[in-house]
Amino acid sequence: MAIKQYNPLTPGMRHLSTLSSSDLTKKAPEKALLRPLSKTGGRNFQGYITCRHIGGGNKRKYRVIDFKRGGDEVATVKAIEYDPNRNCRIALIANEHGVKRYIICPKGLTVGQKVTDGKTGEIMTGNCMEIGSIPEGIMIHNIELEPGKGGQVCRAAGTSAQILGKEGKYAILRLASSEVRKVLLTCRATIGVVGNEDYNLVHKGKAGKTRWLGERPTVRGSVMNPNDHPHGGGEGKSPIGHDAPRSPWGRRLMGVKTRSRKARTNRLIVRRRDK
């Protein structure tokens, strides 16, 4: 996908780059698949901030995505669309009865192409099936971790996992983070790599564009007060005063293992991701 550069007519355009929309075939979303999306400002039902740096941003509607792909049917790709809630494209598909759904759009999927859902199927981009039916070495995305729960892994732009082998009732996958883990053969996945792989090359150009996306500014803990952050306080540029960097809530970070030893999925992780 092409990256568009701009002449520096204003300071905000000097380093601005955007993704080309030449791959999109439909501008207006499917109304039946839209849902309202209210803003929380990062606050829970009591009004306390539980997720920092959230606020503002342009109004959006949520696109209902079919992550489960559970129906055993054949569908046709009707359009490739933009989704403001994720960094990849979405594809509008319709089955033989005219029922429409949105799915994550893999790289190379085109309008008019047929995609299938089922336990088995042809090894083609966009087809969804059980991992046990997919040969070793194939790149997959939208991977279930529990059968029937829907895809949870490799849904971001440009991500995919590779099937390294099969062992008993498990398949061994290498994820985009380089972690190697086991997944049940009865879990479903979609063939191919998620599209829009050039998303990480985009330069916003100015701080205001981050605010349009609903993100508020972030500052270092060392410039805060002691009651706001463990690194705060002191005169001038003071050291953090801890054996390891800490989160605002005192949890150790950066190079220190924080995963619970009792996590039930530890036995499924063959090799942890690279540092």
* Domain spans, the chain: 3-200
Please check whether the domain covering 3-200 is classified as CATH 3.30.2090.10. Answer: no
pLDDT at 1 exceeding the cut of 90: no
Query: What is the average pLDDT across 66-91?
Result: 94
What is the percentage of the chain residues whose pLDDT exceeds 90? 90
- Residue 254's pLDDT band (cuts 50, 70, 90): confident
pLDDT digits (tens, 9 = 90+) for 176-232: 999 999 999 999 999 999 999 999 999 999 999 999 999 999 999 999 999 999 999
pLDDT digits (tens, 9 = 90+) for 97-120: 999 999 999 999 999 999 999 999
| Contact (Cβ atoms closer than 8 angstroms) between residue 113 and residue 75 | no
More confident residue, 31 or 254: 31
pLDDT at 77 exceeding the cut of 80: yes
Take residue 4 and report the two structure tokens written for it: 């568009």
209's enclosing H/E stretch is: helix 207-212
pLDDT (0 to 100) of residue 253: 87
- Residue 2's pLDDT band (cuts 50, 70, 90): confident
pLDDT (0 to 100) of residue 273: 86
Angle at 196 between CA 74 and CA 2, to 5 degrees: 125
Question: Where does residue 226 fall: left (phi above 0), alpha (psi -120 to 50 degrees), or beta otherwise?
Answer: alpha
More confident residue, 243 or 91: 91
The torsion of the CA quartet 17, 111, 186, 62, rounded to 10 degrees, works out to: 60
pLDDT (0 to 100) of residue 275: 63
Which has the closest alpha carbon to 92: 82, 106, 103? 103
pLDDT digits (tens, 9 = 90+) for 151-172: 999 999 999 999 999 999 999 9
